[in-house]
Every structure is written in structure tokens, then in C-alpha cells.
Amino acid sequence: MNARNLIDLDHISQNDLEEVIRLAGIIKENPSYYIDDCHGNIMATLFYEPSTRTQMSFQTAMLRLGGKLIGFDNPSNSSVSKGESLKDTIRVVSNYADIIVIRNSFEGSALAASMYSRCPIINAGDGGHLHPTQTLTDLVTLSYEKGRLDHLTIGLCGDNKNGRTVHSLIKALSKYEGNRFVMISTPELKVPDYIIEHLKEKGSEFSFADNLEDAISSLDVLYMTRIQRERFASQKEYEAQKGVFVLDEKKIKLAKPDLRILHPLPRVDEITVGVDDDPRAKYFEQTEYGMFARMALIIKMLENRNSRLPDKVCDTHDCKCTNLRCITQTEEYLPAIFKQTDEYLVCKYCEHAMKK
Ligand code: NCD
């Protein structure tokens, strides 16, 4: 694998991505061949935000490869609570670990961490921005469960605005030919503009729907997400969105027999428990695919590691990103880095676009 870090699946080549998916399949069939693959290596898991599946699947993946673990999942027990910057934490931990997995509530935090790390960084979720290893999980699940990653009609239903798994998945699946996206949400929870721009750039077909019942019959894949309570400004705003889209036994009667229902979990109330026994519901199997996906990723990333500080960023700007959820808001030493388009400056950390 050529990339040093996994911040965004867009940063790794299609070949490398397919290699990881393929390896995940091989590991799934022969897990015992890999029990010593990462012997002598240490993974640090730095979880500044709550997690069950992502953190535990990384941990079990590393342990099943013969590696060891360090880290925290409660930053108040670490020097973060004393006011340590992300940069300092990463410089220290990357002296102790061979690979770091980080989840943080600020958008762009994994990219920021990678700028100061001596070892590879894996983004395990940066606020409402991206979640590339959940997407790897989703791709491995789909390649098994549908037998292909192209020519699929994919419905994304729930919190398309704040659901980082949704953003990463759309970006990844838009690279495959013939995929169509049906984005099912309230107007308030529509996907961010940068995702729509991305779909336009890729020439992918997409549409919006506000009714799951009407949309479900055309779908090959239904990706449900919970309303991301922690990303709302107030409880009142959250309550207004909660419970709008619920997948139940009545609605799945309208779906194709080979529909596959995915969910990154945790589920709140957006899928009734009655759906769990339907053979089309694959969200619990998905968690197991995720473990194999992460095992494959760790192997590939450690194969290619090089222990050095990344190059200094040169191309900086004088302005500041205006997205209040961007990591540059709190870690003020970070260089201001933007991509330029004719009309916009796009923050490289969080992809927020500002008119020039
Ligand atoms: C997701 C996440 O953290 O973004 N969960 C996960 O990683 N499996 C989805 C969510 O929290 O709703």
C-alpha cells in the first residue's frame, strides 16, 4: 500500500483499496494463517469520542494478528485533560506505537494528527466528517453480500448531514461504475454540499427522497443511520428529527428479495427489532466483516510504514477556516491549508468551502 496514512479513502489508490478488500476476504477464509502477522507491533487507539464497534474491532483485529495494544478511550484519564495539544499527544504516542488509530470530535483531526506523527495514522472518525474504516467494512460486506460494488442502487436513509459513515461511503462507491444514490432524509439532514459536488464531479447519478416507503422498492442496498444526537445544537432540534424514518417489517415487504440492509450501528429506533430476523438484514454480520477489513488494513499499512516525521507543510494561507467544527478552531498552531477552486477556498482538514 502506497499511502502512509488512512485519513480519507480518496487518498489511497483504487488498486490499494481493492487489495485490502481482497485480503480481508482471504483472512476471513483462513484467519489462522495470520495469527503472527503483526507480532512485535504495537497499536495505539486514541478515542476522544465514544465507540464500541470501531474501537473493539481495531483491538480484536490487532490481537488476532499477534500485535499488542496501548491507548485511551477516556481522554479525561490522559494528559488531554491537563490541556495537552493534539500535536504533543501524537508526537509522544507515535514514539511508543507502530500505528495509531484516532477518533476525535473535530473535523480534520486525523489529518492534523498525521502531520505530527512518526507512525501511520488511521482515521476512526473525525467528527461529522469521515469514517473511512467503516466504509472499508461496508465495502467488504457488499462485495460478499452482493457479489459486486458496481451497478448498485444505494439508498442512504437517516442523518445524511452528520453521518460521517454516509459521507465516506458515497465517496467510495461513486468511484465504481453505474452506482446510483438515493438520499433519503429530511431537508435539514441532507448531505453536505461537498458530497454533492463530489457526486457531480464523478458523474454519478443521484436523487433525493423524503419518503422511505416510496424509495425502498428500487434499492439494491439500504444504508440506514441513526440521527446523530451529539452533533445537534440543542435537544429540541434533535427531537424534531428523531423517528422520522423508521424501517419496519411493513416497509421491507415492499423491497426487492435481494435487498441488503446495512447499518454502521449503534441503532437507536430507526430499524425495528422485527427486521433483525429478515435474511436481508446484514448489520450484525457487517460488524464481523469489519474485523477482517481492519485486519487487512493493519497488515497493509504496517508493511509500508516508514518511521519518520512527515514533511513540513509549505503551501499555507493567511485566512482561517470558518467551520466551527474544524480542528483548526481548537488547535490554533495548525497551518491554514486550503485547496483553491475558481470560486472557493476549501479547507484541507474538514473540506468546508469558503467563498473567495
Ligand atoms: C458510526 C460512527 O461512529 O460514526 N458507528 C461506528 O463507527 N460503527 C455510526 C454512528 O455512531 O451512528
In sign, the C-alpha dihedral spanning 316, 84, 58, 301 is positive
Residue 91 lies inside a defined structural domain of this protein: yes
- Domain annotation covers residue 308: no
Best substitution site from 130, 242, 265 to test ligand 1's pocket, by max atoms within 8 Å of Cβ? 265
The reported pLDDT for the residue numbered 356 is: 86
Distance CA 95, CA 14 (A): 31
Q: How far is the CA of 137 from the centre of ligand 1 (A)?
A: 12
Q: Based on the domain organization, do 271 and 323 belong to the same domain?
A: no
Clarify whether residues 113 and 251 are in a common domain.
no
Output the pLDDT for position 2. 84
Residue 313's pLDDT is: 72
Task: Give 96-147 pLDDT, tens digit per residue.
Answer: 999 999 999 999 999 999 999 999 999 999 999 999 999 999 999 999 999 9
Shared domain for 272 and 295, answered yes or no, is: no
Residue 117 in domain: yes
* pLDDT over threshold 90, residue 316: no
Q: How far apart are CA 185 and CA 74, in angstroms?
A: 33
Residues 201 and 159 placed together within one structural domain of the fold: yes
Q: How many Å lie between the centroid of ligand 1 and the Cα of residue 264?
A: 6
Residue 348 domain boundaries: 319-356
263 pocket-lining for ligand 1 (C-beta < 6 Å): no
Cβ–ligand 1 contact at 287 (below 6 Å): no
265 lines ligand 1 (CB under 6 A): yes
Query: Are 171 and 219 members of one domain?
Result: yes
Would the pLDDT of 307 be above 60? no
Same domain, yes or no: 153 and 276: yes
The neighbouring-strand residues paired with 271 are 247
Other Cβ atoms within 10 Å of 202 Cβ, number = 15
| Ligand 1 atom at minimal distance to the Cα of residue 159 | 12
Please indicate, yes or no, whether residues 345 and 240 belong to a single structural domain of this protein: no
344 plus 293 within the same structural domain: no
Residue 131 CA to ligand 1 centre (angstroms): 8
Q: Are 237 and 225 members of one domain? A: yes
Q: Answer yes or no: is 1 within a domain.
A: no
CA 186 vs CA 156, 158, 208, 230, 351: distances in Å: 12, 8, 10, 18, 23
Residue 308 is predicted with a pLDDT of 57
Ligand 1 binding pocket mutation candidate from 73, 102, 109, 134 (most atoms within 8 A of CB): 134
* 190-208 average pLDDT score: 96
- For residue 124, what is the domain's CATH number? 3.40.50.1370
Q: Determine what percent of the chain is predicted with pLDDT higher than 70.
A: 98
Task: Say if ligand 1 is within 6 A of residue 286 CB.
Answer: no
- Average per-residue pLDDT in the chain? 95
- Residue 311's pLDDT band, with cuts at 50, 70 and 90, is low
Q: How many domains in the chain?
A: 3
Mind listing the pLDDT tens digit for each residue in 184-197? 999 999 999 999 99
The C-alpha cell at 135 is 466504509
Is residue 304 scored above 90 in pLDDT? no
> Which of 7-16, 72-81, 217-226, 268-277 comes out lowest in average pLDDT?
72-81
| d(C-alpha 236, C-alpha 242), whole Å | 10
Residue 8, Cβ neighbours under 10 Å: how many? 21
